[in-house]
Amino acid sequence: MSVCEDMLLCNYCKCRVKLSGYAWVTACSHIFCDQHGSGELSRSPAVCPACNSALSGKLDIVCIELSPSEEHKAMVLAGLRPETVLDISSRALSFWTYQVNPPQVGHQHDVLG
Ligand SMILES: [Zn+2]
Ligand SMILES: [Zn+2]
């Protein structure tokens, strides 16, 4: 168990800052601080700085608020079917698990930089 499990780190290799405020999430399950998200991901065509995936879809890059207000939490999933709420929740939990405990099998680190 890592001491950082309550916080995710920017996936930009030279950054690794603890994320707070706003963060940028990619479809390839990477997450970046506001600085690197708005900088690296705003290029055209956008490419994930962590895994070089092309991020061309409208929802391939999403800016999220890490500590949403009570008002936001009250409304964001309201009206959705229970299975949809659970589906979204389980995907978000999978993302968290992947970030906190990345798969090691067959994983090779790219040359940094
Ligand atoms: Zn960063
Ligand atoms: Zn990626």
In tens, the pLDDT along 26-64 reads 999 999 999 999 999 988 889 999 999 999 999 999 999
Q: Is 23 exposed, middle or buried (0-12, 13-18, 19+ CB in 10 A)?
A: buried
For residue 14, name the pLDDT band (cuts at 50, 70, 90).
very high
Question: How much is the mean pLDDT over the chain?
Answer: 89
- Joined together, the tokens standing for residue 103 give 């798969």
Ligand 2 centre distance from Cα of residue 34 (Å)? 16
Ligand 1 centre distance from Cα of residue 26 (Å)? 14
Return the higher-pLDDT residue of 107 and 43: 43
pLDDT value, residue 87:
98
Model pTM score? 0.83
pLDDT value, residue 50:
96
| Nearest ligand to the CA atom of 47 | 2
Ligand 2 centre distance from Cα of residue 74 (Å)? 30
- Taking the C-alpha atoms of residue 23 and residue 35, their distance in angstroms, rounded to an integer, is 9
Structural domains of the chain, ranges and CATH numbers in brackets: 22-100 (3.30.40)
